[in-house]
Amino acid sequence: MKVNKKISFSVPIPAFRHRMGKENWRRGGFFMEHTDHTAPQSIEVLWQEDTRILTLEGEPVLEYHVSWPELRGTGRSGTKINRYYRRLIKSWRQRWEREVYWKACLNLATLRANSHPFVSWKGSLRGEVTLFTEHLLSIRMTGQEIRGNRPPNQVRWGDVWDIQEGAPYPIHALYCSCHRWKQKLISQLKKLAADQQASASRFLLPGWEHGLQTFFPKEDYCLTAQGIEIAYPQGSISPMAEGTPVFQLPLSCASETQKIPPKK
């Protein structure tokens, strides 16, 4: 079953520089005034969704849901971004329909042989727009997998795109005039994590300070109207049961924000 939904954003489209970006990779939009003489075109983010149920001898074994963005009205830059998400969804589908499906079937057979009930496995990969400006598009992706009655495995990351380039907008670009930007950011994250632990709003594992640096996601971050969102891998600095640790830092901590509209 496929459905789609879209958001639109009207901006002028300048000539694109043909540079391919690194492919490691709230819903909403608003109008940005422009002063150049380029005729404005409509940029749309169209969300595609698909749900599939895999069976064995008629019994549901694995159900998964995926959603991914498709940009319209961006020319070649949008084509690059769309290509990345098509490849991303393809790789997740292949994993679920091969490796995970086979394991689910083996689990079903084992439980049947021991007269135990089987609970269908579930997976999801969902996306949403967290910031949409004249220059930047930020998308948050959240994945989850539940194997029967086991606790869920989760992953969360962000993709920030330079719309005109069709390339990733790296986090260090926000700190272009700041020397040792990573150390500054890690220091802010450590203070935030320590404050959360002291207030009992987050439980951290021993050695979490080292983990903050070791597992720091240099490319996978989000931009929101509130600031910079950084998610760490599940189990990296806090127990698996706590899910994915997420930190929000204000934009004021960055030195380069001309591409990000001020919070109203």
Residue 200 binned pLDDT confidence (cut-offs 50, 70, 90): confident
168 touches 22 (CB < 8 A): yes
Mean per-residue pLDDT for 132-153? 95
- Residue 259: what pLDDT? 57
Instruction: Retrieve residue 107's tokens.
Output: 């689990």
Q: Which contiguous run of DSSP H or E holds residue 85? A: helix 75-95
Q: Which contiguous run of DSSP H or E holds residue 48? A: strand 40-56
- Residue 39: what pLDDT? 26
- Residue 230: what pLDDT? 95
- Residue 73: what pLDDT? 85
- Residue 102: what pLDDT? 98
Q: Which tens digit of pLDDT belongs to each residue from 32-84?
A: 223 232 323 588 899 999 999 999 999 999 999 999 999 998 888 999 999 99
Q: Mean pLDDT lowest for which of 80-89, 117-126, 208-217?
A: 208-217
Residue 58's region, left for phi above 0, alpha for psi from -120 to 50, else beta, is: left
181 touches 172 (CB < 8 A): yes
- Residue 256: what pLDDT? 52
41 touches 128 (CB < 8 A): no
- Residue 212: what pLDDT? 92
- Residue 179: what pLDDT? 73
186 touches 92 (CB < 8 A): no
- Residue 41: what pLDDT? 55
Res 22 pLDDT > 90: no
Radius of gyration of the chain from Cα atoms?
21
Q: What average pLDDT does the chain have?
A: 82
CA distance 148 to 100: 12
Q: Residues near 144 by Cβ (< 8 Å), separated by ≥ 6?
A: 122, 123, 124, 152, 153, 154, 155
Beta bridge partner(s), residue 257: none
**Domain ranges across the chain:** 2-169, 173-253
Mean per-residue pLDDT for 197-208? 91
Res 240 pLDDT > 80: yes
Q: Which CATH architecture has domain 173-253?
A: Alpha-Beta Complex (3.90)
Res 106 pLDDT > 80: yes
16 touches 77 (CB < 8 A): yes
Q: Which tens digit of pLDDT belongs to each residue from 209-224?
A: 999 999 998 889 999 9
Residue 180 binned pLDDT confidence (cut-offs 50, 70, 90): confident
The number of angstroms, rounded, from the C-alpha of 157 to the middle of its chain's C-alpha atoms is: 4
The one-letter amino acid code at 119 reads V
The one-letter amino acid code at 103 reads K
Percentage with pLDDT > 70 across the chain: 79
- Residue 38: what pLDDT? 31
Res 257 pLDDT > 70: no
Name the CATH superfamily for 2-169. Fervidobacterium nodosum Rt17-B1 like (3.30.565.40)
CA distance 216 to 257: 21
- Residue 61: what pLDDT? 98
Q: Would the CATH topology of 2-169 be identical to that of 173-253?
A: no
